[in-house]
Structure 1
Amino acid sequence: MPAHPHTCPHACSSPRLSPVPPVPTHVPTCHQSPPAPRVPPVPARRSLAQVQGSNSTGLRRGPGSPLVHGDHRGTPATSHRPPGLRLHPHHGAHVLGPVPRWPHPAPPAMSVSSPSDPESSPGTQRGPRVAEREDGEPEEEKVCAVCGDRATGYHFHVMSCEGCKGFFRRSINKGVRFTCPFARSCPVTKAKRRQCQACRLQKCLDVGMRKDMIMSEEALGRRRALRRQRRLAREQPGELTAEQRELIGILIAAHQRTFDSSFSQFAHYRPAVRLYIPSPRSPSPSGPAVPSPQLECGAEDVLPDVFSMLPHFADLSTFMIQQVIKFAKEIPAFRGLPIDDQISLLKGATLEICQIQFNTVFNAETNAWECGQHCYTIQDGALAGFQQIYLEPLLKFHISLKKLRLHEAEYVLLQAMLLFSPDHASVAQRDFIDQLQEKVALTLKSYIDHQHPMPEGRFLYAKLLLLLTELQTLKVENTRQILHIQDLSSMTPLLSEIIS
């Protein structure tokens, strides 16, 4: 076979590809490139028109190959075949590529626009990027009809970008007359749209932007005011429903008939004995030990290992448990439950409801519970046998709840939410109890939104839910410490049944 003649690739004008012969080792090319390795002949012989197939655009992308552009009329992208080029098969199609010698950067993708278009000359603007949907079909991005930028939707009856939308509105509202310094044929592209405002405005009108769809400043002001009114109407809660007002009335009446805030009916109790046990002190070598000023009782009253306030606290807790039971029986929905469910709900929520009622007599300034003629502090809990791991969070809970300054309706709604808790495993009518709790919770939320002004009442409902979560933890710790107290003889039968 004769050697391939030494010719320039640009001088070849054959419309079809001839077989590629083996390239000699030292055959020079028009570019005087180094000698290429020997390449076996390619058996496939197909014309470039056959290679393009049914794709009329002539665009082919193979793995790791550059984008090859063909003419839109389906003609071959080029009629020249320089020597040293061969065909690479990729996914059933063929694209032109150089004989690999050393890695070269891939050439940039060519625009699919016509070369005669002044707005899409190579190196100034690319065509619209084609996205791919989930089903694999290509989906073109929305393009502004004025400048070709990415469009955000229809504005003034034309698909346009935010920049052209604002430019058209400002130009029409201000009534400015722009003048083109050239022949009123300036290109309006994303990069050049700011250079000539007259041509940009004219193109906005040419593509169909309508002046009558632009609102005046007065109309815009009215629309903004209407939006503010609607937003305020959504933020401002409406009135309570008749059912919610009836529920609040029932709970308040039940609370007032059963809860004795003055503790005047708290009688026949074991007295409160406050015996303070001092820490051991070593006697002073110079004289007798000086008694601590914190001791309120004599030496004969200091009895170690005795919880002096436990009997009194047991009677106080029993008195408050009785009030909670009476409160629950005043609620018609509670009385309609089976007896077993009533007992389960009371055993699960009584201690928590007692703390809610106890908070109504708590004084946040003195950190004391003022129960009529009785006054209790957190130190009294220590004298009853409770540990600081329970007493400190308990005091913090009452301080936090008192600072919220709840209304009487909110206190009773909290008690009802705790009472109708479907979380107990032994309840039978769980769905009905869950509906009752949801109704009470929605009533509490509506009452807070209606009675507490913004912004101080904005997060009140969320704060109450967090406090109820803390109260659940306190109840578990309270029960655990009561069961670990050795002097269980001080407990009353009702208190023992509740904590069992």
Structure 2
Amino acid sequence: MSPKRHHLLCNICGDKSIGRSFGAITCESCKVFFRRNVLKFKEFECIHGDYCNITVKSRRKCKKCRFYKCIQMGMKTQLVQSKSSENNTIDDYESVLSNESLVNYDFNQSYDNNKVISRHEFMFDPVFKQLTDYQTFNELESIRLSELQNALQVFTYMSLYTHNNIEVTNIYKLYEYFCRKLEKDTQNVVSFANNLESFNKNCFNDRLALIKFGFLEILILRYAIRYNTETNVWTGNLDNDDSFVHSLEVLKYEERNMYNIYKDYYHKLIPESQCDSLIMDLLSAILLLNPKRPYLIHRDVIKSEQQLYIYLLQRYLLNRYPSESESQIKLQNLMNTLIDIQVLNEIEKRNGIERYLQYFGPISKEMLFN
């Protein structure tokens, strides 16, 4: 080992480093810790509000905050997972949706601006016309897909065309409008869920937990449809007459790297999904029926329902893309964007309670912060 390396300390805990591991300077202990827990997707809890100081002496006391710091310091989960990613199954994708998958996001990752994506790549595919006879699905699967698409009709009011477009350049005004929209859309998520048999078959406790801990993730997914990747502008409806638009630049100075994470998320999800309505609907159901939500009683029942929607997504992609390998890569990439959604969900909640709590309506405030 060179003399220079002796002066390097672990970015995570401050112990003597062994060099660069998975994208950051680490000690042997933090390297092993990161590798072991990426592969297992363990659920950790912090009893101190996620604000533990990670040092050599304290690193074993809180696994959750230690993992968060690994991510914040630049450790990349894809460097751990790349060797096994080719053999993922539906069971593997279910583990992606763990409540702790926030720790699997690289907060230092940035979007490559040299990759220019043209408008025609994002055009809405006429999925409804392609699937009117559901030739690729059997009768039971067709019924399930029809039910899902009908349930998500609650979001059809979100037209891009309104009489008044309000340009927002101030972050506080943005949250004022955003929270007005969120209050209405929270109720729409409840309506969507209540129109799914796979949701209603669960006990009241589980239905409540699935909504409470999943509604914002579903909205973050569906709001991506309103983002223009060429102009980096997002449009949100307040009602049938008024909408507001804002450049992503408004988020540039927000805490927890919100700007870059949103930008990376949009530039991953939109090319992968092409805003295909059926893909977005299936992903909505997959997020809703997440068996890793807190306080669930019948996780196995919810898991089986979620896996059915993952299977339907897999079937649809296999029909749409020419080779099985291509469809599997597409499925893997789409499932990985759900991790980004969980990251953004956590950031929105933390930033919201710290700076913008006064703008949230009573329903969304109860769901997010109580």
SS of 1:499's equivalent in the other structure is helix
Q: Gaps spanning 5+ residues in structure 1: where?
A: 1-237, 277-305
What is the aligned residue count? Answer: 228
User: 2:166–2:244: 8 Å Cα contact kept in structure 1?
Assistant: no
Match of 1:248 in 2: 145
SS of 1:360's equivalent in the other structure is helix
Provide the C-alpha distance between the structure 1 equivalents of 2:280 and 2:168, rounded to a whole number of angstroms.
31
Cα shift readout 1:318-340 (whole Å, capped 9, x = no counterpart): 22222211111111221222222
Provide the C-alpha distance between the structure 2 equivalents of 1:422 and 1:474, rounded to a whole number of angstroms.
19
Q: Percent identity?
A: 19
Distance 1:431 1:456, change over 3 A: closer
Match of 1:213 in 2: none
Summarize the alignment of residues 33-72 of structure 1 with structure 2, pairs less than 5 Å apart.
none
Distance 1:474 1:275, change over 3 A: closer
CA displacement at 1:275 relative to structure 2: 5.7
Match of 1:489 in 2: 358
1:332 is aligned to 2:197:
yes
Cα shift readout 1:104-142 (whole Å, capped 9, x = no counterpart): xxxxxxxxxxxxxxxxxxxxxxxxxxxxxxxxxxxxxxx
Distance 1:275 1:441, change over 3 A: closer
CA displacement at 1:360 relative to structure 2: 1.7
Match of 2:268 in 1: 400
Distance 1:264 1:366, change over 3 A: closer
Cα shift readout 1:219-238 (whole Å, capped 9, x = no counterpart): xxxxxxxxxxxxxxxxxxx9
1:461 to 327, 331, 337: 331
CA displacement at 1:380 relative to structure 2: 3.7
Distance 1:494 1:431, change over 3 A: same
Amino acid at match of 1:463: N
User: 1:361–1:370: 8 Å Cα contact kept in structure 2?
Assistant: yes
SS of 1:318's equivalent in the other structure is helix
User: 1:341–1:428: 8 Å Cα contact kept in structure 2?
Assistant: yes
Distance 1:391 1:319, change over 3 A: farther
CA displacement at 1:493 relative to structure 2: 0.8
Amino acid at match of 2:308: K
* Structure having the larger proportion of residues in helix: 2
Cα shift readout 1:62-88 (whole Å, capped 9, x = no counterpart): xxxxxxxxxxxxxxxxxxxxxxxxxxx
1:347 to 209, 212, 217: 212
Match of 1:390 in 2: 258
Match of 2:344 in 1: 474
User: 1:420–1:433: 8 Å Cα contact kept in structure 2?
Assistant: yes
Distance 1:263 1:337, change over 3 A: farther
Kindly report the root-mean-square deviation, in angstroms, between the aligned alpha carbons of the 2 structures.
Answer: 2.8
Q: Which has the larger radius of gyration?
A: 1
SS of 2:306's equivalent in the other structure is helix
Provide the C-alpha distance between the structure 2 equivalents of 1:497 and 1:272, rounded to a whole number of angstroms.
28
SS of 1:421's equivalent in the other structure is coil
CA displacement at 1:445 relative to structure 2: 0.7
Distance 1:378 1:476, change over 3 A: same
Amino acid at match of 2:186: I
Provide the C-alpha distance between the structure 2 equivalents of 1:329 and 1:459, rounded to a whole number of angstroms.
32
Give the structure, 1 or 2, with the largest relative contact order (CA under 8 Å, sep 6 or more).
Answer: 2
CA displacement at 1:388 relative to structure 2: 6.1
Provide the C-alpha distance between the structure 2 equivalents of 1:334 and 1:458, rounded to a whole number of angstroms.
27
Amino acid at match of 1:462: Q
Distance 1:308 1:375, change over 3 A: closer
Normalization by structure 2: what TM-score? 0.56
2:313 to 434, 437, 444: 444
CA displacement at 1:415 relative to structure 2: 0.4
CA displacement at 1:457 relative to structure 2: 3.4
CA displacement at 1:423 relative to structure 2: 0.7
Provide the C-alpha distance between the structure 1 equivalents of 2:211 and 2:175, rounded to a whole number of angstroms.
23
CA displacement at 1:456 relative to structure 2: 4.7
SS of 2:294's equivalent in the other structure is coil
Summarize the alignment of residues 204-353 of structure 1 with structure 2, pairs less than 5 Å apart.
239-262=136-159, 274=168, 307-353=172-218
